[in-house]
Amino acid sequence: MKIKPEQLARTLTSTDSAIYWLAGDEPLLMQEAADQIRHHYRGRGFLEREVFNVDKNFDWNQFFNATGNLSLFCELKIIELRLGSARLDDAGKNAIHAYLQDPSADFLILIVGPKLDVAAIKTKWFVQIEQAGVLLQIWPVPREKLSGWLSQRLLREGIDADHDATELLADKIEGNLLAAVQEIEKLKLLANAEAGSLIKLDLKTVMQVVADSSRYNVYHLIDAALLGDSLRSQKMLSGLRNEGLFPLVILGAITRELRALLPMLEKKEQGRGLNSIIQSARVWFNRKQAVSKALERMTVAMIWQLLDQARRIDQSIKGMSKANPWDELSLILLVLSGSKTASMTKASSD
CATH at 125: 3.40.50.300
Among residues 196, 213, 230, which one ends one of the domains? 213
pLDDT, tens digit only, all 350 positions of the chain: 999 999 999 999 998 899 999 999 888 899 999 999 999 999 999 988 999 988 888 999 999 998 876 655 557 899 999 987 767 889 999 999 999 988 988 999 999 998 888 888 888 888 888 888 999 999 989 889 999 999 999 988 888 888 998 998 888 777 788 878 878 877 776 666 454 566 788 887 777 666 545 445 788 899 999 999 999 899 889 988 887 778 888 898 899 899 999 999 999 999 988 888 988 888 877 788 999 999 999 999 999 999 999 999 998 988 888 889 999 999 999 999 998 765 555 545 55
pLDDT at 153: 92
Number of domain units in the chain: 3
Q: Quick one: 250 and 338 in the same domain?
A: yes
Give percent of the chain above pLDDT 90. Answer: 44
**pLDDT, tens only, 201-234:** 888 777 766 654 544 578 889 999 999 999 989 9
CATH of the domain at 267: 1.20.272.10
Residue 289's domain comprises: 219-349
pLDDT at 8: 96
CA angle 138/140/142 to nearest 5° reads 135
**pLDDT, tens only, 246-255:** 888 889 889 9
Q: Quick one: 181 and 282 in the same domain?
A: no
| 49-53 contacts at long range (C-beta below 8 A, 24 or more positions apart) | 49/77, 49/78, 49/80, 50/77, 50/78, 50/79, 50/80, 51/80, 51/82, 52/79, 52/80, 52/81, 52/82, 53/82, 53/84, 53/311, 53/315
Instruction: Count the neighbouring beta carbons within 10 Å of the beta carbon of residue 8.
Output: 19
pLDDT at 215: 44
Q: For 8-137, where are the alpha helices, taking DSSP H only? A: 8-14, 27-43, 61-68, 90-101, 118-121, 124-132
Question: Backbone phi, then psi, for 141, in 5-degree steps?
Answer: -75, 120
CATH of the domain at 169: 1.10.8.60
Q: Quick one: 19 and 121 in the same domain?
A: yes
Q: Quick one: 318 and 237 in the same domain?
A: yes
pLDDT at 305: 93
Q: Quick one: 9 and 132 in the same domain?
A: yes
- C-alpha 251/C-alpha 337 separation (Å) is 16
Q: Quick one: 248 and 343 in the same domain?
A: yes
Among residues 213, 237, 262, which one ends one of the domains? 213
Q: Quick one: 271 and 209 in the same domain?
A: no
| Three-state SS at 327 | helix
**pLDDT, tens only, 34-68:** 999 999 999 999 988 999 988 888 999 999 998 87
Q: Quick one: 72 and 158 in the same domain?
A: no
Q: Quick one: 160 and 246 in the same domain?
A: no
pLDDT at 145: 92
Contacts of 31 (CB under 8 A, 6+ apart): 252
| Three-state SS at 230 | helix
- C-alpha 18/C-alpha 129 separation (Å) is 10
Among residues 138, 158, 179, which one ends one of the domains? 138
Q: Quick one: 121 and 209 in the same domain?
A: no
pLDDT at 40: 96
- C-alpha 265/C-alpha 297 separation (Å) is 10
Q: For 243-297, where are the alpha helices, taking DSSP H only? A: 247-269, 274-280, 288-297
Instruction: Count the neighbouring beta carbons within 10 Å of the beta carbon of residue 181.
Output: 16
Q: Quick one: 303 and 278 in the same domain?
A: yes
Q: Find, among 312, 318, 21, 320, the residue nearest to 331 by Cα.
A: 312
Q: Quick one: 229 and 308 in the same domain?
A: yes
